Structure 1
Amino acid sequence: MFKLDWEVKNLSFKVDIKATIIATLALVLSVVVMNFAPYLVIIILPFITIPGTILWYRSKPSFFVTVVVTLCATVLFNNMFLLTAMTLMVFMSVFIGQLLLERTSKERILYLVTSFMSILTIGSVLILQITGNIPLTSKLFSQYQDVLMSYFQMSGNLTTEIEEALRVSMEILQVSIPGYIILWVFVLVLVNLLVTFPILRKFKVATPVFRPLFMWQINRSVAFVFVITVLVSLFVSKENVVMYGIVTNLQFVLEWVIFIQALSLFHLYVKVKKLPIIVGVLIFVMAFIFKPFAYLFGLMDIWFNLKQRIKK
């Protein structure tokens, strides 16, 4: 009994009352604003991890107290989407705070937090669908396809070829949804790191800075996985919905990773050759226009380290 009482008192002693109250008020206020003005979510989300990250970095007991109070307040609004979003942001605060404690580089934080949050976000969407809080993706796309079919039928342009093209397009778009979710999470995490780290430094939280783009280097295993994914995709039919969806989304995500590596290569080339800024911008624009060629350069850089050749 004495040991238990001591642990409780010790825990209470570690709770930073002032920081806990401020952080809780900030998060609860954010919940209230997002509940009554959902369109402000896009502005609030990139900043909402700041209180949790600071508390996790400084005082984990204070963090847990703040999280419990905030989530209890969120439950009172009976808004499942808001509760899900706040829960995901809590996990994101933990991931960022822990990686900061481990003195991880900013690029590694970006990749790891994106990976963790992508898994949690996709899992949350599945749970919301299973519990009936949001309609199934297949149902939504089926309804959308029916609307398009009705439009073409009313205009008298509905043919067998158009009907088949619409069906295939809807199937491809449907299986690509997880990939687009991952891309959205990546953008959210990137914006979050860019806007919150300067603020965290003001609260004396040690944060790394992004190395210049030309110094980014993707692990060679990514290229290996990408090649295997492309080869597997050649033998996977659309009838095998699960495997086709996994391969398609994995390829979609890896293509973006390799594209970032290509941009890193181009950035180094511009820097080494001391090209004018306008030329560098044009090279980046061309990379976005001709992505297949950019993927090729990205793969070659990962496999053969073209950057070393450019430096020489």
Structure 2
Amino acid sequence: MTTLVEALRLAAWQEMERDPRVWVLGEDVARGGLFGQYRGFAEKFGTDRVVSTPISESVIMGAGLGAALVGTRPIIEMRIFDFVMCAMDELVNQIAKIRYMFGGQARPSVVVRMPHGLWRNSAAQHSQVLEAWFAHLPGVVVVAPSTPADAAGLLVAAIRSDDPVLFFDPKNLFGLEGEVPATIDPIPFGAARRVRGGDDLTIVSWSALMPAVVQAAETLATRGITAEVLDLRSLWPWDEAAVTASAQRTGRLLVAHEAVEAGGFGAEIIARIAETTPGVRLGRCGMPRVPLPFSPPLEDAIKVTPAKIVAAADRLLAR
């Protein structure tokens, strides 16, 4: 069994061995990274390919883009998702748009890794879930895995992709264990994983909330209610065909995400199903629109839990 963070380490290691153009830059990566995701990399690949940078996210992002434009394939490490706000111009106005603006002559083959999501007692500036910002951004792929095997396979696909990939590492699941193959094959973007079957409703989620969704589905099953659970794995592209087919079959769709409910990516899924699949009953479950508190009891009060997902499912089933 392999932890999720170790699966990510193995995937990046495999790709750096396979392709000498792949390298990593970010704060403390030569020391192994904040979570150990680059442990041993500097010793194996050298500090020309494992580059610890100054504490300047705009420099890290801009340097990664420049290196990609001359033919390398950088892994840009943002350390924690929230710090990407210091590099938004480089990401939003340059990386996401440069291929289009130069008619395909520029190739921004970068992976931007951003450990994101709630992290116990990390408060308002270290636990944000703003994935919907980037799903809204043309020109990038957005990936949000929830298992060791998926994280590894999707990271391999991201490193090999010619498109810029925003990779949301679920830091609250870094200790989650699972099987990972010795040779990690890429997992295609836009293909949801069917976690469990069911006939009464469909629950769609992704990333660090998946264990809570599975627990909620198990609670519903004790009451004779079967939920089909889908893990999107990537938010752009997302597997509209799988979600539509499941929602058509069960007649009810609940989207649950760790992010704030208002304006979250769940709203996009609900809107698309409402437009294309009339008659499906629709619901969402997310956090309230408040900053994340430091206090553990207050954090517990606002985060999405299995009980809240069950309650949202009950409201949907009652309609």
Structure with bigger helix share is: 1
TM, length-normalised to structure 2: 0.27
Which one has a bigger Cα radius of gyration?
A: 1
TM, length-normalised to structure 1: 0.28
Structure with bigger strand share is: 2
